[in-house]
Structure formats: structure tokens, C-alpha cells
Structure 1
């Protein structure tokens, strides 16, 4: 078995982020959770207050021989508005910020390069505010959050559409815009 690498991304609701990475070749597991705060073992109710410093994240375990970190960055950025300082779509607050939590110096450099490419493309009127932070302790979310999009497809689809995420993604991230990477 090949050695798996880990990538961690914050982009608002982890239900939506998890579904974006799910079932892609080379991605072995996607786990919803929390990272970046200062409270040990936070739960959903704690993080939702915005007082723990954590962001909702997805941790992606992938085979780099099948899918590259650059490919993961493309998937990630194509699911968010990287210029939104106040959260992500309907979800507001620091716990819904966009951030790339890097596990290696190479991941850090690739994330910074991707952000520069988006800024250089001028596809947005504002600069990218997605944070690039060193990965710290990851806390898996409660079981009912794992694979939420599969367990509760009707509620998930309603949430995804109602949040404005899907219409933004469809409007902004087309094949032409994805070529900036």
C-alpha cells in the first residue's frame, strides 16, 4: 500500500467541503473536524459559538501518486469564495473562515502560489484573504457530521443550495477560471 499524505482545508461548512473531495480517485478518506483553536477536544456546539478559535475543516488523506496536492488545492478553491473575510456564504464568523492548514513546507509554498495565481488572474475584485496556517491538532467532528451529504442527502442539498455556495461555485468556478492553476 502506498503512503498516504494529509491535507487540511477550511472553507465554511464542512458538510459542503467534504462532499467536494468525496469519491475522487486517490482520495482515501475525508474526515470533518476542527482545527486552529485553543480549546482541547472541542465539540460542534463549542466551535459554533466562534469563541474557541477553531475552524470547521476537512482533513483529506490522499495518495500523492494518484492525486497531487495541487489538484486538491484546485478542488478546494473551486468550492469557496476566497475573498470573503467574514466567513463562507451563509455561514458567518471566524469558525467558517477559509484557510489552508499546511502539513509540510511544500504544501505551504503550493498554497501561497495558488493564492498568488488567483490574485494575479484578477478574477475577483478583491484580494484573496484565505489564510495559510501551519496545521495543528485536528479534532474529528462528531459522527453525525461525517459523510453528512451521504447520510442526509435531501437536507444537505437544501442547505447547499440555500447557503448560496452552489450558485456561486457554478457562476464563478468554470473550466476557464480553473485554468489559472
Structure 2
């Protein structure tokens, strides 16, 4: 069984993430969405909320793709998470050259840590290349409409969170 790991903070999950998940699901038998616990980034949503949002969006993808999709929170090294879930492939989405430079360094380090785990890059769909969770949160904080960047349920969660803030 080929197991892939698609890691990220998913704060919040965007249509760009969903695009990568849909495409990655066609490449593996099981896709694990690794939701990173990254306290340094100061997430807007709790880990539990992010896991629930990603899980809700992935349920439909799993059903239509026939691929098992699991959501797995993690706080350790990415390569250790890959080992923990039995992944032989790490899936990374690329939007721009700047993403590649960072990811290139990560691949090199991960290859040293465990050469059995491959990294596969999927280019973001042209319509989704500009979407970044950080920018989505900023637009939402300033009262902008982010419905074209996130799933409907995430749009609602963002508006509710900001209304309480």
C-alpha cells in the first residue's frame, strides 16, 4: 500500500489545499493529512478545529476518489511523522519560486534523515496559486470576502471567529 503524507498547518484549510489533496489522493492508496501543531505561527484556529475542518472537507474527497484519507495531528519532525504513519511519500504543494527554494532545502534535510521517504511536488492549479492561509486570514480580518479562497464551511468559521474577536 502506497501511503502519502500531505503536511501543513491548515490555518485555515483553503481551496489551494483542497486542490492538492484531491490530486494527491489519485497518486496514493492512503493519504494522511498531517495537521501541524505549530505554536510559533500563532494559529487562529485550535488544533481540534483545524483537524475537524480538514476532516470535513476530506470526507467528500475520499468518497469520490476511493482513496482512504486520514487526518493526523503532529508536533514532531516531518520525517518522523512520515515514519509514524508509514508514509513513503511526502506531498508538497508549490505556488511560486519562493516555495520551491524553501521546499528544496527541506527535501535535502529530509533525505539525510531518511532516504527511503520521497518528496513529490504538485504545482498549484493556476487559479489557486495566490491563495495562502496567511493572506486569507488578513483579508478576513480586514472585512474582505474570502469565499472565493476557502470552502463554504471555512468561510463561515472565519466570520464567526472574527465576530467573537
Give the alignment's TM-score, normalised by structure 1: 0.35
**Richer in helix (by share):** 2
